[in-house]
Amino acid sequence: MKIYNTMSRRKEEFVPIQPGKVGIYVCGPTVYDLIHIGNARPMIVFDTLRRYLTHRGYEVNYVSNFTDVDDKIIKRANEEGVSADEISEKYIAECRKDMESLNVLPATVHPQATKEIPDMIGLVEKLIGGGHAYEKNGTVYFRTRSFPGYGKLSHKNIDELESGHRDEAHQLKVSGESEKEDPLDFVLWKPKKEGEPFWKSPWSEGRPGWHLECSCMSAKYIGGTLDIHAGGEDLVFPHHENEIAQSEAANGQPFANYWMHNAFLKINGEKMAKSLGNFFTVRDITAQVDPMIVRFFMLSVHYRRALNFSQELVQDAGTSLERIRNCYDKLKEKAGTGTPLGEEEEEKKKEADILLEKFDAAMDDDLNTADAISAVFEFVRTVNAFLAAGISGELAGIFLKALSTVMEDVLGVKLAREAGLLDEEVEQLITERTEARKAKNFARADEIRQLLLEKGIVLEDTREGVKWKRT
Ligand code: AMP
Ligand code: ZN
């Protein structure tokens, strides 16, 4: 498999450190609110990477953290008059629900910063001992210039960074970090302010800096060098650059061999972000749209390309998925007949292997889910033609297994329909209701509206006719 490595800016052949095993670390969300569908992009993309590597026979150790100590969490806790723990525990639980609805597998471990404080203090001590960090008035800073490779991931030159920071003298005073030896230095440990959660440490009662947790927890749960480190592209600098500096300065070995970064989910050409207020939560979207359509939509574009979000584009993804599901339904029905494979079907049977080969070839090319989905559509077209001409139950079973392997096991898009009404069934009932109304049979018309409502379908009578949506 080839993976585009942000570090080398090239696609590289993936070679794991230990044959047959892969250790992946993915930076997880800060848990102060419901996640938005931009946050869901790395979750879905790297869950798909994990599933694909598993499908190729690797044993995958997948670690993804919850950042549960952070200014935003503390702010929210103070606003609501509850503890920071209450906020983070609540939103971890909510995040897990969203992940489950999007069929994102739970990580092997989901470490939490607040539960790893002693290890983080140990890492800071090691960095101080090695001359890579220093303490000033209870704050510990990383001595950025003590790490020669700084900037290698984001391809930034340390001297340019320095000049970019020149105007920061004033800013540093404001942020209370004026005692830094160098504006490039960043915080490893900071003392508490009034009303903030804190832990005891050799330097002050306080809390760890954000970058530190990922360096610490990835080493603890994966160890040594990571095979793959991943996250959204906004994390390249400074977060991942700082993680590398901390980890490599402390351990003297490469931190991660492959760096993968997903591009943004955008809305009207802008990054979807809490701070911009242009976001939709996963909770809101999945209340309106089948979460499997959302997942399919996310995978319809390669992960390194920006993906524009709009209700129309999601609907289009729904229509495309419907074509695959219709084929799946027909295959399932046919497979149930159990009729044996005919001799003349040997040639047709090869289509299952062709699908798997083309699918894997696309995924091997830096997880190209867009091309992988094209291979599925080609397969569906061929199989639909076979179905129209008639096939045995056994052949349908073979096709069904191939389709389910790529769509469900690897892409994580469930094909079986939730117990509810199919679009055509809804349309049929609406037609029946319109006819009942024309015939002035209002009792029947109302009955149908009620029936649809019970199945989660809301009707709206408009001038252009009846419109409907799922609640
Ligand atoms: P945060 O909670 O902001 O640290 O984000 C958690 C993860 O979501 C990180 O990997 C971010 O890079 C990613 N992320 C945030 N916003 C977007 C977006 N609009 N599109 C894609 N990924 C995003
Ligand atoms: Zn991280």
Asked if residue 455 has pLDDT above 90, the reply is no
What confidence score (pLDDT) does residue 211 get? Answer: 96
Instruction: Please give the number of the atom of ligand 1 that sits closest to the Cα of 233.
Output: 12
State pLDDT tens for residues 155-182.
998 888 876 665 555 555 555 567 999 9
Could you tell me the distance, in angstroms and rounded to a whole number, from the CA of residue 140 to the centre of ligand 1? 27
What confidence score (pLDDT) does residue 152 get? Answer: 97
- Helix (H), strand (E) at residue 62: strand 59-64
What confidence score (pLDDT) does residue 288 get? Answer: 86
- Minimum-distance ligand to the CA of 309? 1
What confidence score (pLDDT) does residue 457 get? Answer: 87
- Enter the tokens of residue 414: 């469930």
Could you tell me the distance, in angstroms and rounded to a whole number, from the CA of residue 36 to the centre of ligand 1? 9
Return the residue whose CA atom lies nearest to atom 17 of ligand 1.
Answer: 38
What confidence score (pLDDT) does residue 164 get? Answer: 65
Please give the Cα distance from 299 to 410 (Å, whole number): 11
| Cα 75 off chain centre by | 26
Asked if the bond preceding 238 is cis, omega within 30° of 0, the reply is: yes
Q: In the structure, what pLDDT confidence band is assigned to residue 393 with cuts at 50, 70 and 90? A: very high
Asked if residue 433 has pLDDT above 90, the reply is yes
Please give the mean pLDDT across all residues of the chain: 94
- The angle that helices 117-129 and 241-251 make with each other, rounded to 10 degrees, is 70
Q: Which of 454, 406, 396, 401 has its CA nearest to residue 426?
A: 454
| Better-predicted residue by pLDDT, 109 or 460 | 109
Q: In the structure, what pLDDT confidence band is assigned to residue 113 with cuts at 50, 70 and 90? A: very high
Return the residue whose CA atom lies nearest to atom 9 of ligand 1.
Answer: 232
- Minimum-distance ligand to the CA of 239? 2
What confidence score (pLDDT) does residue 417 get? Answer: 81
Query: In degrees, to the nearest 5, what angle opens at C-alpha 271 toward C-alphas 281 and 320?
Result: 65
Cβ contacts of 198 within 8 Å, gap of 6 or more? 191, 192, 205, 206, 207
Asked if residue 396 has pLDDT above 70, the reply is yes
State pLDDT tens for residues 25-55.
999 999 999 999 999 999 999 999 999 999 9
Q: Which residue has the tokens 């800096």?
A: 209
Please give the Cα distance from 46 to 20 (Å, whole number): 18
Return the residue whose CA atom lies nearest to atom 18 of ligand 1.
Answer: 38
206-208/226-232 β-pairing: unpaired
Asked if residue 95 has pLDDT above 90, the reply is yes
Return the residue whose CA atom lies nearest to atom 5 of ligand 1.
Answer: 29
Could you tell me the distance, in angstroms and rounded to a whole number, from the CA of residue 434 to the centre of ligand 2? 56
Quick one: what percent of the chain has pLDDT higher than 90? 85
Asked whether the beta carbons of 262 and 281 are under 8 A apart, the reply is no
Q: Which of 84, 42, 48, 86 has its CA nearest to residue 64?
A: 42
Cβ contacts of 237 within 8 Å, gap of 6 or more? 153, 154, 156
Instruction: Please give the number of the atom of ligand 1 that sits closest to the Cα of 234.
Output: 12
What amino acid is encoded at 188 in this protein?
Answer: L
- The residues lining ligand 1, judged by C-beta closer than 6 Å to any ligand atom, are 27, 29-30, 38-39, 41-42, 231-232, 234-235, 262, 264-265, 271-273
Could you tell me the distance, in angstroms and rounded to a whole number, from the CA of residue 85 to the centre of ligand 1? 22
What amino acid is encoded at 173 in this protein?
Answer: K
Return the residue whose CA atom lies nearest to atom 11 of ligand 1.
Answer: 232
What confidence score (pLDDT) does residue 134 get? Answer: 98
Hey, which of 234, 285, 308 would you mutate to test ligand 1's pocket, going by the most ligand atoms within 8 Å of its Cβ? 234
- Helix (H), strand (E) at residue 400: helix 393-404
What mean pLDDT is predicted for residues 204-214? 96
Return contacts of 53-58, CB within 8 angstroms, 24+ apart.
53/1, 53/22, 55/405, 55/409, 55/410, 56/1, 56/360, 57/20, 58/16, 58/20, 58/21, 58/22
Q: Which residue has the tokens 């001038």?
A: 463
State pLDDT tens for residues 295-324.
999 999 999 999 999 999 999 999 999 999
Torsional class of 334: left (φ above 0), alpha (ψ -120 to 50), beta (otherwise) = alpha
Asked whether the beta carbons of 29 and 222 are under 8 A apart, the reply is no
What mean pLDDT is predicted for residues 382-409? 98
What mean pLDDT is predicted for residues 8-19? 98
Q: Which residues face 109 on adjacent strands?
A: 63
What mean pLDDT is predicted for residues 252-269? 97
8-state DSSP, 365: B
pTM metric for this prediction: 0.89
What mean pLDDT is predicted for residues 94-101? 97
Among the residue ranges 11-15, 205-209, 423-427, the one predicted with the least confidence is 423-427
Return the residue whose CA atom lies nearest to atom 2 of ligand 1.
Answer: 29
What mean pLDDT is predicted for residues 392-412? 98
Hey, which of 32, 37, 39, 235 would you mutate to test ligand 1's pocket, going by the most ligand atoms within 8 Å of its Cβ? 39
Sheet of 265-267: strand order equals 270-271, 265-267, 307-308
What mean pLDDT is predicted for residues 113-132? 98
Q: Which residues surround ligand 2, an ion (CB under 5 A)?
A: 27, 214
The torsion angles phi and psi of 455, rounded to 5 degrees, stand at -90, 10
What mean pLDDT is predicted for residues 418-438? 83
Alpha helices in 11-167 (DSSP H): 37-55, 71-80, 84-101, 117-129, 158-164
Cβ contacts of 146 within 8 Å, gap of 6 or more? 131, 132, 249
What confidence score (pLDDT) does residue 175 get? Answer: 58
Q: Which of 198, 30, 229 has its CA nearest to residue 117?
A: 198
